[in-house]
C-alpha cells in the first residue's frame, strides 16, 4: 500500500478524537452527554473537563503527527491509550458495577486495531 494512502487512513481516527477534545474545551455539557455522562460540579468538573480534553486532544495529536511523519510508534502509543479506555470500561463493568458500554468499547477496539494496522503497514511501507 502506498505510504500516502496509509497516512490518510492513519489520520482518520484523529478527527473524532480531536473533536471530542475540542468539545470538552468549548461545550463540556454536550461533550460529556455524548459519552453518556453528566457534567460534574466543582472539582469533579475541573478533573472531568481537564482529563477528557487532555486524553482526546493528546491522542489526536499523536495520531496526526504519527500520520504526517509516517511514524508508526506514535500510532501505537495512541492505540494504547484508546485500547486502555476499552479495557478500563470493561473492568468498570465487571468489577465496579458500571453499565457495560458496548458501543463505546466496540468503537475503541475498532480504533485500536485500525491504528495498530496503520502503524504496522506504515513502518513497512516504501514510497
Model confidence pLDDT, tens digit, residues 53-93: 999 999 999 999 999 999 999 999 999 999 999 999 999 99
Report whether 10 contacts 120 (CB < 8 A): no
With b for 16 or more beta-carbon neighbours within 10 A and e for fewer, the 6-31 pattern comes to bbebbbebbeebbebbebbeeebeeb
Query: Could you give the number of structural domains in the chain?
Result: 1
User: Greatest CA span in the chain, whole angstroms?
Assistant: 52
pLDDT at 56: 98
Decide if pLDDT at 1 tops 70.
no
- Residue-averaged pLDDT of the chain: 96
Report whether 79 contacts 117 (CB < 8 A): no
pTM given for the model = 0.93
Decide if pLDDT at 126 tops 90.
no
pLDDT at 125: 87
Range of the domain at 35: 3-124
Give the pLDDT confidence of 33-54 residue by residue, as tens digits: 999 999 999 999 999 999 999 9
Report whether 31 contacts 83 (CB < 8 A): no
Amino acid at each position: 500500500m502506498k505510504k500516502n494512502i496509509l497516512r490518510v487512513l492513519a489520520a482518520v481516527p484523529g478527527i473524532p478524537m480531536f473533536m471530542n477534545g475540542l468539545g470538552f474545551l468549548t461545550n463540556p455539557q454536550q461533550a460529556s452527554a455524548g459519552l453518556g455522562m453528566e457534567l460534574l460540579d466543582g472539582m469533579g468538573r475541573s478533573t472531568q473537563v481537564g482529563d477528557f480534553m487532555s486524553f482526546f486532544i493528546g491522542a489526536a495529536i499523536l495520531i496526526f503527527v504519527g500520520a504526517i511523519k509516517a511514524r508508526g510508534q506514535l500510532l501505537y502509543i495512541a492505540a494504547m491509550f484508546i485500547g486502555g479506555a476499552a479495557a478500563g470500561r470493561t473492568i468498570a463493568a465487571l468489577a465496579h458495577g458500571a453499565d457495560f458500554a458496548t458501543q463505546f468499547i466496540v468503537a475503541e477496539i475498532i480504533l485500536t486495531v485500525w491504528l495498530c494496522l496503520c502503524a504496522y503497514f506504515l513502518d513497512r511501507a516504501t514510497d
